[in-house]
Structures are given as structure tokens and as C-alpha cells.
Amino acid sequence: MHRIQRDGTPQVRMEFEGETLLAHQGDTVAAALLAGNHWNFRTTPVSGAARGPFCMMGVCFECLVEIDGVANRQACMTEVRDGMRVKRQQGANDTAGNVFSDAEQDTGQ
């Protein structure tokens, strides 16, 4: 992958699934993860299939990740921050980070 050089732009250090990544200040989390060759941002609630960003403009919600313990954050709409900890989102979570089972999702509970 070709990475655009931006001399002079401050870098930030972040973590994805325990791996330390360097990003440029002003990058989105999605851009930083893609630049680090990470394409699997979340898994689907039913089949567990891998998903990654599609629109990169806040519309498709395929880029949901957990950031600093908060689930359902759109990686394409969130700027990187020094010390940020990002995790792959597994299935569907409520805003408190609780993982729903398939049965709970079917009934909306």
C-alpha cells in the first residue's frame, strides 16, 4: 500500500488489537487502520463475517469499532488521538458495550 508522506504533521501512537500503530494527527481511525493494513474492523452479529469500511463518509456503518471501551464508534468519522485503544467490534453491541445474543437481537430486547 502506498502511503502519502506528510512531512511535519505530528504523529500519534494508537493501538489496534494490541498492536501499536503510528498515525498522523488529523487522520481518521479508519484511515489509520487501513494504512496499517487492517481491513477487518468488525464481525456481523449473525454469521460472524468480517466487515470493513465501505463509504468512508459516515453512511454505511460498516466501520464500527470499539474505541477506549465504547462500542459502535464509526472509525471513518473519528479522529485518531494519542493513546487511543481500538478493538475489533464483535457482533452487535449496545451503546454500553454489552454484546447481544442472536435471540436478543431478534426480539429487540
Q: How many CA atoms lie within 13 A of 20 on its CB side?
A: 5
Distance of alpha carbon 48 from alpha carbon 61, whole angstroms: 16
Q: CB nearer to ligand FES: give 57 or 102.
A: 57
List binders of ligand FES among 67-106 (CB under 6 A): 74, 76
Work out which of 35, 36, 43, 61 binds ligand FES, going by CB under 6 A.
61
Q: CB nearer to ligand FES: give 58 or 83.
A: 58
Amino acid at 13: R
Burial classification of residue 83, based on how many CB atoms lie within 10 Å of its CB (0-12 exposed, 13-18 middle, 19 or more buried) = exposed
Size of the site for ligand FES (CB under 6 A): 12
Binding site for ligand FES (CB under 6 A): 53-56, 58-63, 74, 76
